[in-house]
Amino acid sequence: MSADFGLGSWPARRARIDPGRTALTQAGRTLTYAQLADGVERLAGDLTRRGVRPGDRVAYLGVNDISVFETLFATARCGAIFVPLNYRLSPAEIRYMLGDSGASVLVHSPDADDLVAAAGPHELQVVKTGDLTEGPPPEPEVGLDDPCLLLYTSGTTGRPKAAVLTHGNLTWNTVNQLAHLDVLGTDKALCIAPLFHCVGLGQITLPTLFKGGSVEPVARFDAGTILARIAEAGITSFSAVPTMLEMMCRHETWAATDLGSLTCVLYGGSPVAERVARAWLDRGVRLLQGYGMTEASPGVFMATHDGTLDHPVAAGVPHFFTDVAADGVRPLSAEPAELLVRGPHVFTGYWNRPEETAASFVDERWFRTGDVVRVEDDGWAHIVDRVKDLIISGGENVYPAEIEAIAVQLDAVDACAVVGVPDERWGEVGAAYVVARDGAEPDEAAFRAHLEQHLARYKVPKYVRFVDALPRNATGKIRRVELRKQAAQTYGAR
């Protein structure tokens, strides 16, 4: 006779942490939790045999794959630090990150053979996934304060730098997610955001594994393939960047795809157009925006299911174990101000950059996000813009994100980015780079009229240029540095 503690029978509760449950699945390969644990132990032994010790760095290069998780957990088992690298970077950029991190081992999947060869020579051990065998089991003592992960920032300005995330940072981010969401041991999650990015790791993937659910990594994003997989496998959740959501809701199979299994879709990394959010919400999908950053593992704010329909593009409310404040360590309000964050999920600093680390904190505890935020009376936060993207024109603050959000409301506009350029009269003015939607004819007069209808005249960009595409990095963020350089060369100070 089974005991009943008010949460169902003992066998049902035990099934949630059954080591025979599927942990990871991909292209016909399936690993139970028991098999994953056994494989991690063997890989950790091999890394130990190769000289990896606590504190050493083990880099990984390749697309999303089961082997990413195996290497991550094996590295952590050794007390070493995992360094996932962006396989979309150039050989020179990969070489820089390997040197900057001081990695002693580079593990890579077969798809990265050419990139690894081009990034050489290497003063480290290079190992292909599948060639790792066995060795003596490691016996390190690993604590919550020990570093677990180096995640390189997107590098939109200057050289990329690596945020050091501890085991405790990742654990508390997972706790925050679970306090905010109903993640179940029966969930089937797709991992489509890249695992070298905090969205791919922290928003859905690690919380699902923590609860004993199943995760299916996707090597490369294709909108039609993802939509088909949702219906075929009964996928319950995934996290993504906004460009992925837009590509899916524009796909020819969008209307016919059964999305009924989805219980939660999270997105973050950059703003999303309201029409894209509405497209998912109108299909009955529980779409939630999260706001965060690599340095916070990444979660800071997240929408709630009961408020999303009224706030389709708002960042939501703070996570449970997250403190937020305005610059000057004062309460956030409707007046835009730089956001400060503290909590057990906030990173310990940048790798080998003590001065940049010190400059990033206030009172040694509050991290300066560099993002301008306003919070309405209902407590919901709205991300206004980056501090560094602020344009000061004639003494007035102009936020490019506000202009861009209005611009994409125009049916003829697919995307828009606004940057500041020097101006002899006003100090700075805006330059808008606009991508027209397929089939739409670029019309500067109509574009300006739309902006003037919704914005103060001083906010309307002085210059407008229609382009085929905007420069973006691997996670879909606009490379504003490139646009600023282009605008400065084209317009200069006039």
Phi, psi of 376 (to 5 degrees): -75, 175
127-143 average pLDDT score: 85
Residues 6+ apart with CB under 8 A from 70: 36, 39, 40, 43
CATH class of 390-490: alpha beta
Which tens digits make up the pLDDT trace of 41-62? 999 999 999 999 999 999 999 9
Cβ contacts of 23 within 8 Å, gap of 6 or more: 31, 32, 33, 35, 36, 209, 214, 215
Q: Percent of the chain at pLDDT above 90?
A: 71
Q: Residue 309: pLDDT above 50?
A: yes
Residue 16 pLDDT grade (very low, low, confident, very high; cuts 50, 70, 90): low
Cβ contacts of 57 within 8 Å, gap of 6 or more: 80, 81, 82, 83, 101, 102, 103, 104, 105, 150
Cα(196)–Cα(146) distance, rounded to whole angstroms? 20
Q: Tell me how far apart the alpha carbons of residues 463 and 454 are, in angstroms, rounded to a whole number.
A: 18
What's the CATH code, domain 10-142?
A: 3.40.50.980
Q: How would residue 493 be classed by pLDDT, with cut points 50, 70 and 90?
A: low
349 φψ region: left (φ > 0), alpha (ψ -120 to 50), beta (else): left
Q: What is the pLDDT of residues 411-425, one digit of tens each?
A: 999 999 999 998 887
- Contact partners, residue 109, CB within 8 Å, separation at least 6: 61, 62, 63, 65, 67, 128, 129
**CA dist., res. 218 & res. 63, Å (int):** 8
Joined tokens for residue 393 = 């024109």
pLDDT at residue 107 greater than cutoff 60: yes
Residue 11 has pLDDT above 60, yes or no: no
Per-residue pLDDT at 7 exceeds 70: no
> Alpha helices of 16-110 — where are they, by DSSP H?
33-49, 66-77, 91-101
Is residue 10 pLDDT above 50, yes or no? no
Asked if pLDDT for residue 160 goes beyond 90, the answer is no
pLDDT at 212: 95
Is 223:196 a contact under the CB 8 Å cutoff? no
Q: Does pLDDT of 252 surpass 90?
A: yes
Give me the pLDDT at residue 84, please.
97
What confidence tier does 9 reach under pLDDT thresholds 50, 70, 90?
Answer: very low
CA dihedral 477, 299, 381, 238 (to 10 degrees): 70
Residue 471: cis peptide before it, omega within 30 degrees of 0: no
pLDDT on residue 494: 58
| Contacts with 472 (C-beta within 8 Å, 6 or more apart), sequence order | 243, 478, 479
Q: How much is the average pLDDT of 122-130?
A: 89
Within 10 angstroms of residue 196's Cβ, the number of other Cβ atoms is 24
Q: Mean per-residue pLDDT for 449-459?
A: 90
Residues in the chain: 494
* Mean pLDDT, residues 15-36 taken together: 90
pLDDT given at position 285: 94
Spell out the domain ranges in the chain: 10-142, 390-490
What is the pLDDT at residue 221?
92
pLDDT mean over 35-39? 95
Cis peptide upstream of residue 138 (ω within 30 degrees of 0): no
CA–CA dist 196, 211 (Å, integer): 22
Alpha carbon distance 11, 290 (integer Å): 35
The pLDDT mean for the chain works out to 90
Tell me, what's the pLDDT at 323?
97
Tell whether the model's pLDDT for residue 13 goes beyond 70. no
Does 8 have pLDDT greater than 80? no
Whether 122 shows a pLDDT value over 60: the answer reads yes
Residue 230 is predicted with a pLDDT of 97
118: how many CB neighbours lie within 10 A of its CB?
Answer: 12
Nearest to 103 by CA among 153, 157, 47: 47
Residue 154 banded pLDDT, cuts 50, 70, 90: low
Do 322 and 345 touch, CB atoms closer than 8 A?
yes
Q: What is the pLDDT of residue 44?
A: 94
Mapping DSSP to helix (H, G, I), strand (E, B) and coil, where does residue 91 land? helix
Own/partner pairs for 370-374, CB < 8 Å, 24+ apart? Answer: 370/338, 371/293, 371/338, 371/339, 372/336, 372/337, 372/338, 372/339, 372/399, 373/315, 373/324, 373/326, 373/332, 373/336, 373/337, 373/338, 373/339, 374/332, 374/333, 374/334, 374/335, 374/336, 374/337
Checking if the pLDDT of 155 tops 60, the result is: no
Lowest mean pLDDT among 153-157, 311-315, 481-485: 153-157
Q: What is the pLDDT of residue 134?
A: 75
Q: What is the pTM of this model?
A: 0.84
Q: What is the separation of C-alpha 412 from the centre of its chain, rounded to a whole number of angstroms? A: 29
The average pLDDT across 261-283 equals 89
Is residue 260 pLDDT above 60, yes or no?
yes
Spatial neighbors of 450 by CB under 8 A, at least 6 apart, are 406, 407, 409, 410
Least confident of 13-22, 175-184, 188-197, 265-274: 13-22
Q: What is the mean pLDDT of residues 146-153?
A: 94
Query: Which residue is it, tokens 């677990």?
Result: 148
Is residue 156 predicted with pLDDT exceeding 70?
Answer: no
Q: What is residue 232's predicted lDDT score, i.e. its pLDDT?
A: 96
Please check whether residue 265 is in contact with residue 283, taking contact to mean a CB–CB distance below 8 angstroms.
Answer: no
End-to-end alpha carbon distance in the chain: 84
- What does the pLDDT average to over 106-117? 94
- pLDDT at position 394 over 60: yes
Name the packing angle between helices 400-407 and 444-454 (round to 10°).
120
CA dist 374 and 383 (Å) reads 7
Evaluate if residue 351 carries a pLDDT over 70. yes
